[in-house]
A = this chain, B = another copy of it.
């Protein structure tokens, strides 16, 4: 099943079932007004979605209007972002001469979840001096996960899979990281691709709790990278078990993979500027690729068939301060 959220004047939007080709959609109806509500009673939702899908299969439904699409969860209660690609950590440590972090247990921080930007919405940030960067990630949405859930049991709690851009401000990040408290200013709102899919939609590309698809990034129309999600050191089920050791996870929790990164980066590139700059520092002695400027465009898709998650295609813009 494929789901999207359509703007309807509410903060949480309207939950839509989407056709296999991503072109048509149907509202899930009054029983399932939005995804944040629906995720709390997932099996009942899936049963209703199966009934509705017959209408879509028969060519029914509305055409998907790109400009009305929001993030699948425009807001949620919890966003826990991992950093599960070992290669990314190795490159950053090498370039910046950082201490080696133990890779067990998994790295994870809690980030802003009260707003996920729509896939085509401008990304408004206060200043280019913060060194604006993106991070291409896969993510999953859980239902209710009890405290103490094992990694094995956690697989069944992965209800939807997402494509996420975790916007990051690199001039701020090291200072916040040094405190040990994680990031507040360095991690503004993330963006998400419009279509959230159940794991079975990925077929063989969903293996060991990993999204085994290339994540394709373009900046201002030029290729930036297409590394694959299969290189995660931990699967999403491991990340769930890590997060749930001392807390239950509520339905609607989104867990991120961290920047997708592969050891053959010379061929497949990177999914964030910071990593490419680290490679340049290692190989050329200094960074070459600039961070983003206002007006720059960042596009993200996954797999060869772009319709799986749809795409994120955004412009970075100057935030205009409003009256308090």
Interface positions of A (Cβ within 8 A of B): 75, 77-78, 80, 83, 101, 105, 107-115, 124-126, 130, 145-150, 153-154, 156-157, 169, 172, 177-186, 188-189, 242-243, 245-248, 250, 253, 319, 321-324
Contact = CB atoms under 8 A, between A and B. Distances in A.
Contact of A78 (B113, B146, B169, B248): B113
Given A109-B182, A179-B107, A126 B169 contact: no
Contacts of A183: 182
A107 B177 CA distance: 11
A182 B181 contact: yes
Given A181-B107, A182-B182, A324-B149, A246 B188 contact: yes
15 contacts: A78-B112, A78-B114, A109-B110, A114-B253, A146-B323, A147-B321, A150-B324, A154-B324, A157-B324, A172-B246, A177-B180, A184-B243, A186-B246, A188-B246, A189-B247
Nearest to A150: B324
A2 to B, nearest CB: 26
B108 A246 contact: no
A103 to B, nearest CB: 10
Contact of A126 (B147, B180, B243): B147
A67 to B, nearest CB: 22
Nearest to A127: B246
A80 B185 CA distance: 12
Given A77-B77, A78-B113, A114-B250, A242 B108 contact: no
Given A180-B182, A182-B180, A185-B245, A126 B148 contact: yes
A126 B246 contact: yes
Contacts of A156: 324
Given A145-B324, A154-B324, 13 more contacts: A75-B250, A107-B181, A109-B181, A109-B184, A110-B184, A112-B247, A115-B247, A126-B147, A147-B321, A150-B324, A180-B182, A184-B242, A189-B247
B178 A246 contact: no
A30 to B, nearest CB: 19
A77 B114 contact: yes
Nearest to A82: B181
